[in-house]
């Protein structure tokens, strides 16, 4: 939890009601309407979800809303058959909607492509047939490691179309991370590209994949998409018999590929995320519940209208991109902007130029990006016309009130509601959020639960308290269905508290006198760096691989732009005890190799000892106190109190 944020939100008392003009036009325009729908979603869930599901197309209707007989392994919409790609693409690719832009893509160098729903339909069918021609069938797992190009969306939807399970790997992960995920999911194929642009450099994805899949017997093919805006591929080596150029294979297949009819509980995708142990977990989401919940949240939270141009700046490699670049908005028939590159390429006015150029009306980003823009300076906004914006969103970490106010004034021109949306990879969609036409917002609060969500704040004993652990009382349609290959971990991580009656997300929160929820951050060993979840145990296990390292403890500390940064305390063996810059560089390189550049700590401190309890447990709480310059908490359980002084001296050096 970031202490700074807790302090600033505790002082926050400003209230921003939605503008009357906004409420008048919104899908839901009054608190009474929200309360009645929320009540109904909890008290008459069958009727509530029946109405929602009638807004999508099913191949066969469901007969039972939810089966909790094997709690916490829930099943939703039993008996129903559908296809997520059908609802996202096919049903808009006929009639008046067919020529509407589905994806408006902009590459970092400035090249653009627009895919109408009809184009997307055609591309997805061709991609799906290509997958089939390479032996991919329903139930197979396909890893996708692509830059933010339209084919990323097409590849994901093509998997959904034929019932293959997509496992998207963010293109900042290292070869080792690819290998872990490919082996864990037993993926038969990796889809990658010859390159993508990031801050003026070409990402060499193919050679990272080559290294990652080496020795992975499960891999039959590597399918390589050409980012061919420049007429030719970036040079990359193709391995005979294994590697296939997408454009060559696609030229050989039929244009027509029907959607497979899937059971509501068939697996739609795996997405790996960090937890409190060293090994990332494959979060499982299924077709029915995930489709419905992302459809409904996108509709109401972003108040999507036919004329909106919607831009979520996340990468499809994270859950936000899955739910709110692809499935949520596309099922609503929205026009979605997709941008390949960095926010400051070629300079920090880039995002605002995109908003102006494409007349973006709904904009969804992360607090870390907002803080980066604040730091770069307001002059980068001066030339951009942001008048098309009508609604702003935030996700990924608690937003500090200062960033909220800047976003509200500078980007929203004081007129756009801000929806601060709390959710997780595991929840599939947004659980706690304002509704833009309804909820008076307070800077830093995610406010109230969405439909079907029954949120509580509990202490360890399960009593309702005003500050404690966030808990969700009953399942909602898009709750994770488990951790791939590890049902026990699913149970232990999320259902071990409160007699298994509540889902435990791992966040701390408080509730104010108006009943608003303020999520303040993780209470487990997960750190949120620039909105990316990193398990401290994951880093610790990387450090101890190094022969000079005996032990390490990694903690999260407040960071001005990233929200949280990582500080590593590293205990060295024998002769290397003092450490050196070379060793520091080696450890950073190891993190880069095992996880990816984005997981590198801010600081690595070499230490002769770590504060431990008499039973040998590292007292991370004290390390955090040292790193944040706080008065030290209770030190009576410390085995050797002198350790603290030497660490303090080192830290402030």
The contact set with ligand WTA (CB under 6 A) reads 273, 318-320, 395-398, 420-425, 446, 505-507, 519, 521-522, 528, 533
Minimum CB–partner distance for residue 81 and ligand WTA (Å): 29
Nearest to 361 by CA among 393, 390, 323: 390
Minimum CB–partner distance for residue 380 and ligand WTA (Å): 25
Which of residues 150 and 444 has its CB atom nearest to ligand WTA in the complex? Answer: 444
Can you say whether the dihedral through the CA atoms of 630, 634, 637, 642 is positive or negative? Answer: positive
Which of residues 446 and 590 has its CB atom nearest to ligand WTA in the complex? Answer: 446
Identify the residue whose tokens are 């390292």: 549
Q: Which residue is nearest to ligand WTA (CB)?
A: 425
Which of residues 271 and 618 has its CB atom nearest to ligand WTA in the complex? Answer: 271
Minimum CB–partner distance for residue 66 and ligand WTA (Å): 23
Output the six-digit token pair for 485.
Answer: 């290959």
Question: In 55-204, which residue ranges form alpha helices assigned H by DSSP?
Answer: 84-88, 117-133, 150-162, 175-185
Q: How far is it, in rounded angstroms, from Cα 238 to Cα 538?
A: 33
Minimum CB–partner distance for residue 314 and ligand WTA (Å): 8
Which of residues 170 and 651 has its CB atom nearest to ligand WTA in the complex? Answer: 170
Which of residues 276 and 388 has its CB atom nearest to ligand WTA in the complex? Answer: 276
Minimum CB–partner distance for residue 282 and ligand WTA (Å): 13
Output the six-digit token pair for 454.
Answer: 């029954």
Which of residues 119 and 315 has its CB atom nearest to ligand WTA in the complex? Answer: 315
Minimum CB–partner distance for residue 43 and ligand WTA (Å): 27
Which of residues 398 and 611 has its CB atom nearest to ligand WTA in the complex? Answer: 398
Minimum CB–partner distance for residue 204 and ligand WTA (Å): 26
Neighbours of 228 (CB within 10 A): 12
Q: β-strands 517-522, 507-511: how paired?
A: antiparallel
Which of residues 193 and 563 has its CB atom nearest to ligand WTA in the complex? Answer: 563
Q: How many CA atoms, within 13 angstroms, populate the side-chain half-sphere of residue 234?
A: 17
- How many residues in total does the chain contain? 653
Minimum CB–partner distance for residue 420 and ligand WTA (Å): 5
* Cβ contact 344:316 at 8 Å: no
Q: How many CA atoms, within 13 angstroms, populate the side-chain half-sphere of residue 124?
A: 27
Q: Is 616 left (phi over 0), alpha (psi -120 to 50) or beta?
A: left
Minimum CB–partner distance for residue 339 and ligand WTA (Å): 19
Nearest to 165 by CA among 188, 183, 134, 198: 188
Buried b or exposed e, range 632-653, using 16+ CB within 10 angstroms: eeeeeebeeeebbeebbeebee
Q: Which helix (H) or strand (E) holds 298?
A: helix 287-301
Which of residues 315 and 625 has its CB atom nearest to ligand WTA in the complex? Answer: 315
- Quick one: 366 exposed, middle or buried, by C-beta within 10 A (0-12, 13-18, 19+)? buried
Minimum CB–partner distance for residue 404 and ligand WTA (Å): 11
Q: Which helix (H) or strand (E) holds 363?
A: strand 362-365
Minimum CB–partner distance for residue 424 and ligand WTA (Å): 4
CA dihedral 195, 198, 202, 205 (to 10 degrees): -40
Which of residues 225 and 470 has its CB atom nearest to ligand WTA in the complex? Answer: 470
Which of residues 405 and 544 has its CB atom nearest to ligand WTA in the complex? Answer: 405
* Cβ contact 432:447 at 8 Å: yes
């Amino acid at each position: 939890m970031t202490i700074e944020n807790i302090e600033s939100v505790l002082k926050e008392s400003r209230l921003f009601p939605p503008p009357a003009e906004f409420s008048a036009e919104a899908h839901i325009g009054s608190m009474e309407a929200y309360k009645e729908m929320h009540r109904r979603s909890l008290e008459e869930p069958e009727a509530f979800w029946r109405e929602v599901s009638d807004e999508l197309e099913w191949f066969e209707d469901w007969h039972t809303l939810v089966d909790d007989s094997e709690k916490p392994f829930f099943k939703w919409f039993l008996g129903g058959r559908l296809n997520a790609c059908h609802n996202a693409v096919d049903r808009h690719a006929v009639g008046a909607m067919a020529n509407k832009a589905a994806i408006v893509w902009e590459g970092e160098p400035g090249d653009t492509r627009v895919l109408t729903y009809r184009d997307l339909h055609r591309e997805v069918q061709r991609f799906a047939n290509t997958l089939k021609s390479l032996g991919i069938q329903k139930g197979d797992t396909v890893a996708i490691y692509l830059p933010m190009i339209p084919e990323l969306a097409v590849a994901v939807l093509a998997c959904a179309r034929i019932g293959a399970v997509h496992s998207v790997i963010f293109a900042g992960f290292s070869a080792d991370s690819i290998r872990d995920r490919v082996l864990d999911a037993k993926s038969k194929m990796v889809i990658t590209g010859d390159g993508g642009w990031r801050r003026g450099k070409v990402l060499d994805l193919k050679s990272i994949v080559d290294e990652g899949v080496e020795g992975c017997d499960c891999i039959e093919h590597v399918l390589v998409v050409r980012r061919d805006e420049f007429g030719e591929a970036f040079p990359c080596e193709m391995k005979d018999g294994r590697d296939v150029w997408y454009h060559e294979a696609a030229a050989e297949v039929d244009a027509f590929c029907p959607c497979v009819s899937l059971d509501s509980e068939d697996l739609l995708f795996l997405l790996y995320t960090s937890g409190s142990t060293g090994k990332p977990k494959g979060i499982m989401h299924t077709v029915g519940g995930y489709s419905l919940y992302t459809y409904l949240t996108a509709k109401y939270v972003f108040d999507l209208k036919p004329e909106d141009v919607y831009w979520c700046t996340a990468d499809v490699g994270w859950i936000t991109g899955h739910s709110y670049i692809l499935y949520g908005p596309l099922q609503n028939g929205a026009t979605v902007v997709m941008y390949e590159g960095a926010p400051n390429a070629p300079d920090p006015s880039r995002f605002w130029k995109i908003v102006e150029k494409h007349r973006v009306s709904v904009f969804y980003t992360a607090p870390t990006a907002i803080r980066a823009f604040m730091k770069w300076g307001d002059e980068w906004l001066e030339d951009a016309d942001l008048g098309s914006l009508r609604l702003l969103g935030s996700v990924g970490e608690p937003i500090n009130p200062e960033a909220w106010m800047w976003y509200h004034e500078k980007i929203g021109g004081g007129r756009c509601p801000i929806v601060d949306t709390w959710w997780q990879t595991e929840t599939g969609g947004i659980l706690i959020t304002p509704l833009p036409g309804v909820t008076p917002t307070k800077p830093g609060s995610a406010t109230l639960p969405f439909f079907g969500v029954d949120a509580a704040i509990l202490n360890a004993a399960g009593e309702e308290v005003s500050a404690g652990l966030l808990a969700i009382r009953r399942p909602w349609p898009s709750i994770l269905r488990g951790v791939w290959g590890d049902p026990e971990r699913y149970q232990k991580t999320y259902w071990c508290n409160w007699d298994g009656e509540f889902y435990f997300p791992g966040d701390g929160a408080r509730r104010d006198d108006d009943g608003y929820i303020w999520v303040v951050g993780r209470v487990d060993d997960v750190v949120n760096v620039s909105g990316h979840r990193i398990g401290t145990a994951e880093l610790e296990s990387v450090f101890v691989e190094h022969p000079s390292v005996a032990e390490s403890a990694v903690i999260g500390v407040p960071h001005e732009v990233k929200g949280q940064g990582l500080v590593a305390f590293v205990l060295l063996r024998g002769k290397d005890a003092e450490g050196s810059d070379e060793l520091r560089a080696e450890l950073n390189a190891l993190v880069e190799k095992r996880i990816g550049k984005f997981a590198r700590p801010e600081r690595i401190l070499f230490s002769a000892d770590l504060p431990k309890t008499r039973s040998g447990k590292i007292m991370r709480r004290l390390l955090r106190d040292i790193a944040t310059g706080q008065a030290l908490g209770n030190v009576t359980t410390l085995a050797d109190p002198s350790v603290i002084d030497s660490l303090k001296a080192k830290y402030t050096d």
